[in-house]
Amino acid sequence: MFKNKWLHKIWFVLSTFLVLLNSGNCFGSTEISNVRYWAAPDHTRIVFDLDGEPIYEVEENENILILKFTDASFNKSIPAELILDKPGIKKIFFYDTEDDTVKIEFILDKHLKADVFKLKKFQDKPQRVVIDIILELPSQGVSIIKEQLPKLIQRKIIVIDPGHGGEDPGAVGKRGTYEKNIVLVIGREIKKAVNKIPGYRAVLTRDGDYYVSFNKRLQVAKDLGASLFISVHADAARNRNARGSSVYCLSTGAASSEAAKLMANNENLSDIIGGVPNGEGKNESDQIILNMFQTNTINISKTYASTLINHLNGVNSLKHKEVQEAPFRVLKLPDIPAVLIETAYISNMQEERLLKTDGFQKKLALAVASSVTEYLSGTASISPANDASKYDDNIDSASDKEDERIADVREIRTTSYKIRRGDTLFSVARCFNTKTATLLKLNKMKKNETLIAGRKILVPANLAEKPPEHHLRIHSSQGKQNGVMKTSRIYIVKKGDTLFSIAKNNSTTVEELRKINNMRSSDSLLYGQEIKLP
């Protein structure tokens, strides 16, 4: 009896000790399991993954930053020393100290400051501690553009925004393709294609594998006074058969579909996944004022998005033939037209392969560049010809010896003609009793340039054979400007009209409309107002 009681007490003490030991293993030290880093133009980021809530303190002295973690340990995979040699930082040392405390020492280089903040566990991301080494100079690409702005004053600046980056990989394909990598490659191709167009300059919001917050992406467009903002993404869906390209605009209300709403919700999480300091991701703009400004901007964005969809249709199948709408945070620019393009479905194995091919990337880039020029200036689309890289920068140069024998086209009175399916330069020239070389000169086109249905071109007004009435716009008034015979007509403003939509529909620019109507940028269009069209 006594022996049994004694054994019972021993068993109780032993059991209590084991429970406490197991409790210590479950709730004791937090393990620092991994370290990653990225270098951006304006900062270098170091990220530590942890399996629990981090408790730490920060010390900074000249070019040394120290993080001390309480009740923590290092995973065996983390080395004692890590040589980075990245902008703003040289090395990192990892020290085990007494009392379950570890120390991480950063040997810094020239920098402005160091921001340390933690990120909570989210989706597949663990608890994280982030160190951003902010460099003394801002983003080199943007700063260079700013310095050159006086020289670029006559150029239209297009901001290309490759989505995701760094901590935020975006969607991942079946074969392990990261969206962030694909859209960066495509973004660079779009930049090349746009920069080959005289009078245009493209700028990337990121040009490497690092994350840029929504606020910073939008600020690039604002600082540069961009004419367009194009965010580039690759779609994903649970249905592996889903495929095709689509274009989205901002909606300040409901999304155009549940799928669009779901997509916007996912994309809007990028700041959380990519990691931004507390407060940077907050939008402090007055929503009512923002909506007032964006109502007109959204309408303008839809006009460009329709043009973009027409050009994408020649590169890939379309998931949606109409412009989609959703509350994307990255499109919240009050006075700059902005669209988000889903290039293809990375979750579809066929389109995942397609996204990785050089040919598709270049065709897609040319389609975007062509849509930009058609929308902003009404000029000809870029023809890929045999090699997209051989696109001639001098779009005004003569391409045929016959051009030199044509009389000065400035003396020709012109009208406009809308290209129909099946039209060729030869057939149009014959219809208007003129020569193809004359049409080339009138429209500053190349001989091998592709004619796209719906495009408007200049043709001689003294018709020999009258084309179908709905394709012909004979102007009602005439005049002479700088020695060139000009024609114009009167347009009555309808509900929903904007200067941008009127300009696009009549193959001109907003600047030209304001000029011939003596309008200021602050002037509004009124229902029933009569305006001149060039």
Ramachandran region, residue 444 (left: φ > 0; alpha: ψ -120 to 50; beta: rest): left
Q: Which domains does the chain have, with CATH numbers?
A: 28-134 (2.60.40.3500), 155-377 (3.40.630.40), 401-533 (3.10.350.10)
Instruction: State pLDDT tens for residues 484-511.
Output: 444 557 787 776 677 777 776 766 777 7
Q: Residue 41: what pLDDT?
A: 87
The pLDDT confidence band at residue 386, using thresholds 50, 70 and 90, is: very low
Coil, strand, or helix at residue 193?
helix
From the list 227, 216, 183, the residue with the least C-alpha distance to 329 is 216
The pLDDT confidence band at residue 516, using thresholds 50, 70 and 90, is: confident
Give dist(CA 193, CA 317) in Å, integer: 22
C-alpha dihedral, 6 to 11 to 16 to 19, nearest 10°: 180
Find out whether 161 and 205 touch, Cβ atoms under 8 Å: yes
Q: Is it the case that residue 469 has pLDDT exceeding 70?
A: no
Q: Residue 408: what pLDDT?
A: 58
Find out whether 224 and 159 touch, Cβ atoms under 8 Å: yes
Share of the chain above pLDDT 90, in %: 25
Find out whether 283 and 329 touch, Cβ atoms under 8 Å: yes
The pLDDT confidence band at residue 262, using thresholds 50, 70 and 90, is: low
Q: Is it the case that residue 446 has pLDDT exceeding 90?
A: no
The pLDDT confidence band at residue 323, using thresholds 50, 70 and 90, is: confident
Tell me which of 396 and 11 has the higher pLDDT.
11
On average, the pLDDT of the chain sits at: 75
Find out whether 71 and 100 touch, Cβ atoms under 8 Å: yes
Give dist(CA 332, CA 66) in Å, integer: 38
Instruction: State pLDDT tens for residues 273-306.
Output: 666 666 555 554 445 444 544 566 777 888 898 8
Give dist(CA 389, CA 232) in Å, integer: 21
